[in-house]
Amino acid sequence: METNKSEIRLMKGNEALAEAAIRAGLDAYFGYPITPQSEVLEYLTLEIPKRRGIVLQAESEVASINMIYGAAGAGARVMTSSSSPGMSLMQEGISYIAAAELPCLLVNVVRGGPGLGTIQPSQGDYFQATKGGGHGDYRLIVLAPSSVQEMCDFVFDGFKLAEKYRNPTLILSDGALGQMMEKVEFPGDGSLPHQIPAWATTGKKGRERNFITSLHMEPERMEEINLHLQRKYKEIEENEVRYETFEIDDAEIVLVAFGLPARICQKTVELARAKGIKAGLVRPITLFPFPKKIISDLSKKIDRFLVVELNAGQMVEDVMLAANGNCPVHFKGRMGGMLIQPEEVLEEIEKIVEESLTLNAGQE
Amino acid sequence: MPEEMLIDEMQCVYQKPGTLTDEYMHYCPGCGHAVAHKILMEVVEEMGLQEDIIGVAPVGCSVFAYNYMNIDMQEAAHGRASAVATGIKRVRPDKFVFSYQGDGDLAAIGTAETIHTINRGENILIVFINNGIYGMTGGQMAPTSLFGQKTSTSPYGRDVAHNGYPLKITELIAHLPGAYYVTRQAVHTPNTVRKFKKALNNAFEYQKLNKGTCFIEVVSNCPSGWKMTPKETLTYIEEKMLPEYPLGDIKVPTQNKN
Ligand SMILES: Cc1ncc(C[n+]2csc(CCOP(=O)(O)OP(=O)(O)O)c2C)c(N)n1
Ligand code: SF4
Ligand SMILES: [Mg+2]
């Protein structure tokens, strides 16, 4: 296939992500099948032998994440993907990778949980993704796509951020985004050059030895490492926040949603506005770093937030922290693999608005 | 005064290989890890591999192997050294890669990785230090602990009805077609050390052929965990360990069909 120039194709989210990874100069992929993300591994095992890189089906997600550790430590541009139960298995390895500051791209095509759960879309892994996930104080950079185009674009952004900060980046997608087909435009090969970093373990030819570890027996040293990591996360919070807004200028009620529900909520905003309700939308694109400032700023001028998620209420806690009591924060969620409809969110808005009116009336 | 100046170069018959750092080893007196490290690094030096080799340290007493071995190294999560080594070798196929693992690491928590790494025939060397105990965590029972062996978690002796049998993982993995060279060695006598060294030589030579995994078990000791003097451990190895884990080649390349 001719891939040295940009190209527009109609593709599933998972396949678009896999194609993007090859075009982004992926050196190696290690992964294990799990629905609804197996197309990533399938696509790569089909394409990589014809093109460039290494793809290996590991014996488990535990093995894949540790292969990622090894290959990233040897200076390669690497990626793994999985869905919720598989991501749970990877957490120890991700903690080691974050501690050893190895760049890599992780993808979670989230399905409904807990337990074996369902293969339908969910956002139930928000806490795991944004609060560390494994043991110890660490953060991943978390990108939340809401279209097949972003399943492609965020692969490039993900590698860039991971390598800039020597930190694992996670694309937090969901089963619906992974499976749905949309038009997607790919850049040509070679747009993201990569060099083997000086710290990588590649054999100590012509230099002092390199080693990669996360073990520091002296607590003073371990605290220093932690302080260094925390400084890095702060820098990421200062420089890398990304979000989108829709109709917020005169909004009285602002929806906050990430990923696919953000698109659903955009429709809700249109429906609400048609009914004369001044609704708006904030869509966090980076979940870590979380767009605290826009939430905080809005909280001082709007009536209320309504957070919409495909879970029992996870990001809503970050919205509450940022809103800091300045305005009420409501929540509407579906769980277990259920998607939410724009009309359902609209109903919730109407209910909230009505409740507040009766409340106000009672106070007068 | 630097040590090397004390000895006239012409008179020097024995010295630490340049592939070991000057770091003091933390191993208990008489521990087999220290000998195994030194022999491994001697071979790396003699074969001229120092600049082209990447090692993987386990979680276990040898977790700090990267402090002593003067080569590029990575420290893996407990049990995952062979998966880490796979990741390295797949992206750096022109380098020599080895993992160095204890029995708990390789034959308990990491059993799946061990079997599948070898089953894929990864072109790496796995050095497996079998001391029949969890040294690092203070002497708990290992999958390789002997029948009746007393440890902190088998205080009445290992009971097979309750704990199962000593796991002969080396015999097990020798059945895998991906295993190219499988041997069991030791480091408790000058003679066994010589043979271990030869086995390491073989393994690195074979790694150049890209024909599969080389696996060297080292029947070792743990004076602290076994609660013995170093000297007593030598007798224990001879009398108890070796009957269960007999030394010698288990699979040599002529037996391979590939
Ligand atoms: C996931 C995990 N579980 C448990 C431990 C604790 N742990 C550290 S080393 C070890 C066993 C080491 O024994 P072995 O592999 O035989 O090495 P030795 O110290 O005997 O050389 C255990 C259980 C750990 N570090 N990580
Ligand atoms: S505890 Fe055992 S294995 Fe560990 S260093 Fe001491 S003697 Fe060696
Ligand atoms: Mg042991």
CA A359 – CA A125 distance, rounded (Å) = 35
Instruction: Provide mean pLDDT across the span B97-113.
Output: 98
Cβ of B136 less than 6 Å from ligand 1? yes
Could you say which of B72, B90, B112 has the minimum Cβ distance to residue A201? B72
Q: Which of A239, A265, A297 is the last residue of a domain?
A: A239
How far is A93 from A78, CA to CA, in rounded Å?
Answer: 14
Please give the residue range of the domain that contains residue A271: 244-363
What average pLDDT does chain B have? Answer: 95
User: Does A18 reside within a domain?
Assistant: yes
Does A165 lie in the same domain as A40? yes
Residue B33, domain member (yes or no): yes
Residues A194 and A277 in one domain: no
Within this chain, do residues A152 and A279 fall inside the same structural domain, yes or no? no
Domain assignment present for A104: yes
CB contact under 8 A, A213 and B51: no
Residues A198 and A331 in one domain: no
- The predicted pLDDT at position A362 comes to 67
Place of tokens 């957070």: A307
Question: Which residue type sits at A264?
Answer: I
As a 3-state breakdown, chain A gives helix, strand, coil percent values, each rounded to 5, of: 45, 20, 35
- Residue located nearest, by CA, to atom 5 of ligand 1: B78
Distance CA A12, CA A184 (A): 9
What contacts 24+ positions apart, CB below 8 Å, involve A340-346?
A: A340/A261, A340/A264, A340/A308, A340/A310, A341/A264, A342/A264, A342/A265, A342/A267, A342/A268, A342/A271, A343/A268, A343/A271, A345/A255, A345/A264, A345/A265, A345/A268, A345/A306, A345/A308, A346/A268, A346/A271, A346/A272, A346/A275
pLDDT at B258 over 80: no
**B77: contact with A, CB 8 A cutoff:** yes
Mean pLDDT value of segment B40-54: 98
Would residue A264 count as lying in a domain? yes
pTM above 0.90, yes or no: yes
B10 domain residue, yes or no: no
Q: In the predicted model, is pLDDT for residue B13 greater than 90?
A: no
Q: Report the CATH number at residue B124.
A: 3.40.50.970
Closest ligand to residue B225's CA: 2
A314 with A234, same domain: the answer is no
- Residue B93 pLDDT class (50, 70, 90 cuts): very high
- Any domain includes A2: no
* Percent with pLDDT over 90 in chain A: 96
Q: B220 lies in a domain?
A: yes
State pLDDT tens for residues A58-104: 999 999 999 999 999 999 999 999 999 999 999 999 999 999 999 99
- Domain end point (choices A221, A239, A257): A239
What residue numbers bound the domain in which B102 lies? 29-255
The answer to whether residues A273 and A223 belong to one domain is no
Q: Is there a single domain that holds both residue A167 and residue A227? A: yes
Q: Do A70 and B86 touch (CB under 8 A)?
A: yes
The reported pLDDT for the residue numbered B256 is: 58
Number of domains in chain B: 1
CATH code of the domain covering residue A319: 3.40.50.920
- Which residues in chain A come in under a pLDDT of 50? none
Same domain, A264 and A161: no
In a domain, B174, yes or no: yes
Which ipTM score applies to this complex? 0.96
Q: Verify that A170 and A260 share a domain, yes or no.
A: no
Tell me, what CATH number does A194's domain have?
A: 3.40.50.970
pLDDT level of residue B1 (50, 70, 90 thresholds): very low
**Most B CBs within 10 Å, among A69, A80, A91, A92, to test the B interface:** A69
- What's the number of domains chain A is made of? 2
End position of a domain, from candidates A239, A267, A284: A239
In 3D, which of A337, A325, A245, A242 has the Cα closest to residue A290? A242
Residue nearest to atom 24 of ligand 1 (CA): B78
More confident residue, B29 or A5: B29
A117 and A29 co-located in one domain: yes
Note whether A80 and A109 are same-domain residues.
yes
Give CA angle at A134 (A128, A140), nearest 5°.
65
What are the pLDDT digits (tens) for B141-170? 999 999 999 999 999 999 999 999 999 999
* Cβ of B107 less than 6 Å from ligand 1: no
Strands A243-246, A279-284: pairing kind: antiparallel
Q: Which of the ligands is closest to the CA of residue B32?
A: 2
Q: Are residues A195 and A323 in the same domain?
A: no
Would A1 be classed as within a structural domain? no
Tokens of B253: 């390349």
Q: Tell me, yes or no, whether B1 lies in a domain.
A: no
